[in-house]
Amino acid sequence: MEKYRQRGVSPTKEDVHAALKGIDEGAFPGSFCKILRSPFENGSYILMHADGSGTKSSIAYLMAQETGDNQWYAGLAQDAAVMNTDDMACVGAVGPFLFSNTIGRNAHRIPGEAIKAIIHGYERFFASLKPYGIVCTMSGGETADVGDLVQTLIVDATAVATLKETEIITMRMQPGDVIVGFSSTGQALYEDKPNSGIASNGLTLARHQLLSHEYASRYPESYSPTVPQDLVYQGPYRLDDPLPESEFTIGEALLSPTRTYLPLIKEILLSFREHIHGIVHCTGGGQAKCKNFGHGLRYVKNNLFPVPPLFKAIQKTGVEWKEMYQVFNMGHRIEFYVPQEIAPSLLTIGEKYHIEGKIVGKIESSPSGKNEVILLTPYGEFVYQ
């Protein structure tokens, strides 16, 4: 994780977890999201979740500056929304969702047309989910001109949903379960173009490893002055260069909107909710994120998806494979922990939505009594404890 940390980012956020130690974990401790008893309605539960597009907005800024097209900002809305909804789906919430968006900008650099593109981006994304019975409503939000604090743009969102106790998915994974993963790439039934799989985590590492140092002098506002110059935009590519082994340019691949799995998750829960022992959204922490859930478990992933072209390109710039698998999803971003006999049914539902699925691993008892993840990959065996 050294290359990521040197740029001021921690994929595992140990300091944040330490700060939260001892804080009330809600009604169902150990769940993927904090679940609270509703203060508004007896017998129901409420989720309130906040997340955003992260430093992906810096790449949108570069693309807009290079092309003169503010529509490059539009996908940040989907990024911010999905990083909320798909986390919340891991505890069983598949809507309705109520959203508020928060945009912090430097008004000297981010024009009103960019803000318009983001707001309309939310509308388009929410409309794309309606045919699948998923309701997302925007309540409003805040656009703050905070140029003293923000050099370009931050796009965040907060989402709220309610749950009945019978709908809640708790982390009750156990030895003998298999791990069913669903691809982060390709083109899902409800997507209008193929997806590179990048989502909205690891973008600080990705953009500095891939993009040419020429962007450092042309757009110094697009990175932190605290990052050493030899770690800023040290890659071999321009934004309009083709991404090897793909149909994307580098810029298009980095800005590919974060895929939502909501339609898929909703149908799986409708038929198999009682058999789902856990769901993990493989964002921050990548393929090692599952280590944070359950007790005394060894997660063995021995049948992972082939590494998508964008992640191959990042790795070839000098990032160790072990770090790659802990920063990025590396091919699948949602995984279900289920008894082996129902795995084929989940894969069939994935086919309906044009999302490839496979059994990527299994759960065993951990000999040490502590959770660990073992990845068996073509590039080596990696252990995370």
* Cα pseudo-dihedral 241, 72, 121, 192, rounded to 10: -30
Question: What beta strand segments (E) does the chain contain?
Answer: 36-37, 44-52, 97-105, 136-145, 153-164, 178-183, 278-281, 297-301, 332-338, 357-365, 372-377, 380-384
d(CA 152, CA 105): 6
Confidence of residue 12 (pLDDT cuts 50, 70, 90): low
Using only the alpha carbons of the chain, give its radius of gyration: 20
Per residue in 145-199, pLDDT (tens digit) is 999 999 999 999 999 999 999 999 999 999 999 999 999 999 999 999 999 999 9
* Per-residue pLDDT, 95: 96
Phi, psi of 242 (to 5 degrees): -65, 140
* Per-residue pLDDT, 195: 98
Residue 87 is given by DSSP the state: H
First to last CA, the chain: 14
* Per-residue pLDDT, 41: 84
Mean per-residue pLDDT, 63-70: 98
d(CA 47, CA 25): 12
Domain boundaries, the chain: 2-384
* Per-residue pLDDT, 48: 97
d(CA 17, CA 216): 33
pLDDT above 70 as % of the chain: 94
Mean per-residue pLDDT, 12-16: 59
The dotted CATH code for 2-384 is 3.90.650.10
User: What tokens does 46 get?
Assistant: 């409420």
**pLDDT of 23 above 90:** no
**pLDDT of 114 above 70:** yes
To 10 degrees, what angle do helices 203-210 and 56-67 make?
40
Mean per-residue pLDDT, 44-66: 97
* Predicted structure pTM score: 0.93
Per residue in 283-328, pLDDT (tens digit) is 999 999 999 999 999 999 999 999 999 999 999 999 999 999 999 9
d(CA 77, CA 83): 10
